[in-house]
Amino acid sequence: MLSRRYAAIAATAATLTLAMPATAFAGEGTTGGRQTLQLDCAEAGSVTILTTPAVVQDSWSDAQIVGGGHFVPVAFTYLAYDDTAGLTLDDETVTHPSAHNQQSTTTCVTSQTAVLGDLAPPDVTLPSGVAATDTVTLSFIATVIVKP
């Protein structure tokens, strides 16, 4: 793993969602201070959600499913992968302290691909073998409980 400095790369990419207490991607639009986000979920297929307002930090609030229902967050994994160099730049998982371990969960994913130099602060020191022109994929994986 590389230094947590590389989380700044993702933070520059955008802010996400589902109440994620870290960094991720920008949604498609806003509704009342919340963003819409398209997720691909293992059991539910393609789902659009409304996230917690962006002003709420370190929130583990439910995300509203457009069309009905809610996702209750259990864990989030954030992955930054340099496709050009074949290196993992960052890989972090955060689990809710009361992770609802007795309930059935599903996994939802969203990813964004970009040029590293478009995301990284200009003064960041890149590791050996990584260039600002490299293509990177930022992935956000949420483990959630689906509630009607």
Position 24 scores a pLDDT of 39
CA atoms within 13 A on the CB side of 67: 6
pLDDT band at 128 (very low <50, low <70, confident <90, very high): very high
Position 31 scores a pLDDT of 58
pLDDT band at 100 (very low <50, low <70, confident <90, very high): low
Residues forming a β-bridge with 51 = none
Domains of the chain, residue spans: 4-147
Tell me what the mean pLDDT of segment 53-71 comes to. 76
pLDDT band at 53 (very low <50, low <70, confident <90, very high): low
Position 58 scores a pLDDT of 60
pTM of the predicted model as reported, rounded to 2 decimal places = 0.70
For Cα atoms 66, 71, 75, give the angle at the middle one, nearest 5 degrees: 140
Higher per-residue confidence, 11 vs 74: 74
Q: Is the pLDDT of residue 42 over 80?
A: yes
pLDDT band at 82 (very low <50, low <70, confident <90, very high): very high
Cα separation of 67 and 134, whole Å? 38
Among 13-17, 31-35, 98-102, 109-113, name the one with the lowest average pLDDT: 13-17
Cα separation of 56 and 72, whole Å? 16
